[in-house]
Amino acid sequence: MEEFRLFLIGASAGGRAAVEKVLSDLPHDTPAAFLVVVHSSFDMISSFSSHLNKKVEMEVLESREDLEIQPGKIYVCVPNQHMVIKNGKLSNSNGPRENLFRPAIDVLFRSGAVVYGNRCVGILLSGRLNDGTVGLEAIKRCGGETLIQNPKTSEFSGMPQTAQKFVEIDYTADLEKIGDQIKKIIEKPLPEEVKIPYSLKREAEISTKIRSQVRTEEYLGEQVPLSCASCGGPLWKIKDTGITRYRCHVGHSFSEESLLLAQNENLEETLWVCLRTLEEKKVLMLNMAENFREKGSDHIARSYSDKIEEVDEHIDRLRQLMDIKD
């Protein structure tokens, strides 16, 4: 058990088929455990594990609290729960989202790196954006190894390509060759054991809600004049990493790209609220003007005409800004 490998697999868009292909190439007696996170919507029905069980030789289990990790088995995350490792066992966490996702790949990778160190291998498959890059960096810092799907042949190249840019990747392979590469890694001696960085331990604790406070964030980085796109709280720029990213004291974590995406979504939502409010204001003033006319107060009713025209102008400008056609 001290020598067995832990393979952590992360994927997003196009990832389910990729995960199935990788794991279907491995025999039932593979002397390693496999933990899988594939991005999903929070309200998605958990069915990937049952599907995968029909396609691969190894037993596939859904992540659940205090489930012991054993070689020759595959463990799959459940929707809206981070999959983390505590004391050599699985745990499902409602911890804060990272890069807008829960479950997040970075959370699993960091957790596995801290607990298993040089026995940990991170595999990043097809997906958009950049979740998983920080996690692969954590695995490298803890003495583990990294493998990515070839971005040139991935269905969606964003995740493996970003990882390739920021992390010194040990192995890059086309999807059809990843199973063979896993077998070669298992046959090799373990990499040299290294001391686990304390900062990574602290971040792993945030994901499991053991720590999540201002004092922890100040240890991990410096506060910057930006606010969290999820909760509105202040952000700290994380130090001790080659990848620019931010975390709030609640624990939400963002890469620069995911923070910008979240800000854009928040801005669009705010604009829709503004448009709806203006439309309702116009309806209310039209009703008030009509009521005054019915009561014979034409001069008061006319006073609303200018106000309604002003609201119409604001609505038109907002529609142009949002590129909404009538």
Dig out the tokens for 35 from the structure: 């933990």
Task: Give yes or no for residue 1 having a pLDDT over 50.
Answer: no
314 is catalytic: no
Distance in angstroms (rounded) separating the CA atoms of residues 107 and 83: 7
- Type of residue found at 305: S
* Secondary structure class of 38 (helix, strand, coil): strand
249 is catalytic: no
pLDDT score at 320: 83
131 is catalytic: yes
> Confidence class of residue 244 from pLDDT cuts 50, 70 and 90?
confident
pLDDT score at 263: 83
pLDDT score at 41: 65
pLDDT score at 84: 94
Count the neighbouring beta carbons within 10 Å of the beta carbon of residue 49: 17
Give the tens place of pLDDT for each residue, 42-51: 555 567 888 9
- The chain-wide mean pLDDT, for the chain, equals 87
Structure-model confidence comparison of residues 304 and 137, the more confident one: 137
Give the tens place of pLDDT for each residue, 85-101: 988 899 998 888 888 88
The percent of residues above 70 in pLDDT, for the chain, comes to: 93
Structure-model confidence comparison of residues 233 and 42, the more confident one: 233
Rg (CA), the chain: 25
Residue of 25, 39, 63, 170 marked catalytic: 39
**Cα 142 off chain centre by:** 21
Residue of 131, 170, 252, 258 marked catalytic: 131
pLDDT score at 26: 95
Give the tens place of pLDDT for each residue, 62-75: 999 999 999 999 99
CATH assignment, 5-187: 3.40.50.180
Task: Give yes or no for residue 39 having a pLDDT over 60.
Answer: yes
Torsion sign across C-alpha atoms 24, 26, 27, 28:
negative
CB 182 within 8 A of CB 7: yes
Count the neighbouring beta carbons within 10 Å of the beta carbon of residue 135: 28
Give the tens place of pLDDT for each residue, 186-220: 999 999 999 999 888 888 887 766 555 555 556 67
> Confidence class of residue 3 from pLDDT cuts 50, 70 and 90?
low
Distance of CA 165 to CAs 142, 159, 161, 174, 203, Å?
19, 10, 6, 17, 23
